[in-house]
Amino acid sequence: MPLQRLARNDITSAITKSPWTTNFRHLLPVTKRLKRALERPTWKTFSKKVAETRDRIKYWNVVPGDQIRLLRDTRGTLQEVLAINKFRNRVYVRGLQYQQEEADEQVRRKNKNYHYSRCQLYLGEYEFPAKDGTTKPQTLPVFAKRLGSSPPKWNSFLRRYQWDRYATATTPTIPHLKGERINIPWPKPEPRTHAEPTRYDTPRGEVVKVTYQPPPFTPTLKGLIPRTPTEREFLSSLYNSPKHTHQQQQVEQFLFKELSNPHSRAKKLKRWQSAQIQKKALLKSMIDDELKDLSGRTVGEARAEATFKWRQNLDQEKKALRKARWQRRGGEAKLERKHVRRLRKEEKKRDRLTALTLKEEPNQVVPIV
């Protein structure tokens, strides 16, 4: 199934914090019509710049949650990826906190974005041999200089593409892993935090508590089956709980009609099957009526005439059903209003013609009736 063309919302909501690749919509071209649509004002803050289609990255190995270092960064600061923009090949990193000069302002956080090609993945800290003149091994941070990946595969359960990423070259080079591919694990999502319950929340003990008491059925077939209560008895038991005139019944007996979908596939199929059975029964009864009195006709002619009358009957029922639906929609009342409005307009037109008076002018001739 081909991908649908890009929409305006795809560009305005291009910044994502999801590390997974579920589709390749970011590889679709931006049409001229979409470029004109991006010029319209909107309440969203986004960038209208989009990378060329041939320059966009298909499989992203730098995703939110990774720790990276920027090339040409003299300080070599280790930063965390906050979000990515696949249409611009930009990586958003979590900014450092800094204090404003004004004393009344709070500490703010500024997030910047950089190009994908400037990012180097952080692999961790490894031990290296001691420097000349020392005996203690040194621990240095290692970054990926060149990345590789396994062939992507589609996970039909999680609905996303999955592959493994490797570091084929590192900086600095790890002596005991030289020439080997170092697996880079994907960032794990942060566990969901749940707020502490308040007095407005239902405790877990109340949620799992079983409050339904099934009716006491007798183990033998000789016992009496509890009678289904009437609507009045059921409502009276709700408003006056000490007064129970019946055994407690299953709640499904009172809600199965309200909670069931009348337009489900199974119910529509059941209604269609019952309608087909009724049509066949009507055809059979009409054929039997015609065969009782042939009146000089053959059996085939009587059967054909019965089939013709049956089809006419079905057409009349269909027209009557269509008219009933039209009336329920308010079509008849609308038609009546149109008729009254037309009569009122004609009456006003007639009154204007009746009250019309002409000024006396030369060369006027009174028609002879």
Per-residue pLDDT reduced to its tens digit, 345-361: 999 999 999 998 888 88
- Closest residue by Cα to residue 80 from 61, 62, 66, 70: 66
Residue range 67-105, pLDDT digits in tens: 999 998 888 889 999 999 999 999 999 875 443 344 334
Task: Note the residue count of the chain.
Answer: 369
Task: Indicate the range of 9-18, 96-105, 146-155, 190-199 predicted with least confidence.
Answer: 96-105
Tokens for 202, please give them: 């239902």
The 3-state DSSP class for residue 142 equals: strand
Burial state string for 10-48 with b = 16 or more CB within 10 A and e = fewer than 16:
bbbebbeeebebeeeebebebeeebeeeeeeeeeeeeee
Task: Indicate the range of 107-121, 167-181, 206-220, 281-295 predicted with least confidence.
Answer: 206-220
- Whether 15 and 162 share a structural domain: yes
Position 323 in a domain: yes
- Closest residue by Cα to residue 167 from 144, 141, 192: 144
**Cα distance between residue 135 and residue 184, in whole Å:** 30
- Whether 302 and 330 share a structural domain: yes
- Whether 15 and 132 share a structural domain: yes
Q: Which helix (H) or strand (E) holds 125?
A: strand 119-128
Residue 166's domain spans which residues? 8-184
Position 194 in a domain: no
Distance of CA 201 to the CA centre of its chain: 28
Beta bridge partners, 119, equal 70
Position 364 in a domain: no
DSSP 68: E
- Whether 127 and 270 share a structural domain: no
Among the candidates 210, 244, 260, a domain finishes at 260
Residue 104 pLDDT: 39
Residue range 217-251, pLDDT digits in tens: 555 666 666 666 777 877 777 777 666 555 555 56
Residue 236 pLDDT: 78
- Whether 179 and 235 share a structural domain: no
At 125, the pLDDT band (50, 70, 90 cuts) reads very high
CB 238 within 8 A of CB 254: no
**Cα distance between residue 46 and residue 43, in whole Å:** 9
Residue 18 pLDDT: 92
- Specify the number of domains making up the chain: 3
Tokens for 258, please give them: 């309200």
Q: Which helix (H) or strand (E) holds 237?
A: helix 231-239
Residue 13 pLDDT: 85
**HSE-up of 120 (CA within 13 Å, CB side)?**
21
Residue 212 pLDDT: 73
Is the C-alpha dihedral spanning 17, 19, 21, 22 positive or negative?
negative
Q: Which helix (H) or strand (E) holds 147?
A: strand 138-149
Task: Indicate the range of 103-107, 175-179, 273-277, 350-354 predicted with least confidence.
Answer: 103-107
- Whether 29 and 159 share a structural domain: yes
- Whether 168 and 55 share a structural domain: yes
Position 201 in a domain: no
Q: What is the mean pLDDT of the chain?
A: 85
Residue range 48-75, pLDDT digits in tens: 888 999 999 999 999 999 999 999 888 8
Is the C-alpha dihedral spanning 81, 85, 89, 92 positive or negative?
negative
Is the pTM value of this prediction over 0.75? no
- Whether 151 and 111 share a structural domain: yes
- Whether 170 and 94 share a structural domain: yes
